[in-house]
Amino acid sequence: MMELPGESRYVRVNGINTHYVVAGEGHPLLLIHGLGASVATWRDNIGPLSETFRVYAVDMPGHGDSDKLGVDYSTDNIVRYLAQLIEILGIDRPAMLGHSISGGLGIITALRYPNLLSGLVLVSSAGLGKEISLYVRLVTLPMLGSILENPRIGGTRFMLNNVFHDRRFASQDLVDELYRCRKMPGATRAVVSILKNTVNLRGIREEYLLLDELKRLTPPLMVIWGAQDPIMPVSHAYRASEVVPDAWVEVFDECGHWPQLEKAPAFNSLVTRFLSR
């Protein structure tokens, strides 16, 4: 397991043994990683953000060191799981930071539980447009998905090489950590199942297109993107600013799908400034 700032803990939520890392004091901030990742996604963020906030970085069901077998991966169930997680941890109105597909989960959570969150930060988020990379769409096809998501170490490095604009960020320790988690029993099924709920061969499913719903959000909204994101096009970020003119939208140049790692110092500063307002 990769060593991260903070304390590694487990909690049972709706029968799912959930791993999370907690650090710092202050207003609670929940970090939710994207598909096929883990709390390692936040290795360069937990420490700096914990200087201001009480940070909870969670391994989502099917990922990292959380349970993978016997889990219902429907969107409804995972959103309900997030609300239960917040309740069980005794967190009072946390801010939520959702990356990639979990950005969409953050939007749905904020809509269904309008008094639950104090702020929402979407990072390279799903749900703001139909377009998504061909590779992700192909994973939804029968049989092909399991082949493409086969947890071989070469496949893990291929994935990381394609999410970063600067491939030097696909470091060996990050490859090793994600490979460790992705080869666990049930991990491939989790990724394919979640993708099939939200994506088809034409792109993001209609029921997961949430752009117009942003107008109904109660918590303040921040959107962060990489200008060279190969997974979710940066045009989605600009669409969000058109729907919610008061949203704080930041686009990093020379940056791919994981700006929290590729632009970590600027990312941490922006999130801290936004959530401290």
Would you say residue 265 lies in a domain? Answer: yes
The Cα-based distances of 54 to 32, 92, 224, 248 in angstroms read: 14, 11, 21, 22
Are the beta carbons of 36 and 159 closer than 8 angstroms? yes
162-208 pLDDT, tens per residue?
899 999 999 999 999 999 999 999 998 898 889 888 998 889 999 99
Would you say residue 50 lies in a domain? Answer: yes
Domain count for the chain, please give it: 1
The Cα-based distances of 214 to 26, 55, 77 in angstroms read: 27, 25, 21
Would you say residue 180 lies in a domain? Answer: no
Would you say residue 194 lies in a domain? Answer: no
19-75 pLDDT, tens per residue?
999 999 999 999 999 999 999 999 999 999 999 999 999 999 999 999 998 899 999
* CA contacts within 13 A on the Cβ side of 116: 22
Would you say residue 120 lies in a domain? Answer: yes
Would you say residue 44 lies in a domain? Answer: yes
Q: What integer is the mean pLDDT of 124-130?
A: 96
Would you say residue 145 lies in a domain? Answer: no
Model pLDDT, residue 238: 95
Model pLDDT, residue 148: 53
Q: What is the CATH number of the domain that holds 242?
A: 3.40.50.1820
Domain of 27? 7-131+206-275
Would you say residue 154 lies in a domain? Answer: no
What string of DSSP letters covers 116-127? T-SEEEEES-TT
The Cα-based distances of 98 to 144, 152, 184 in angstroms read: 27, 26, 24
Question: pLDDT > 90: what percent of the chain?
Answer: 82
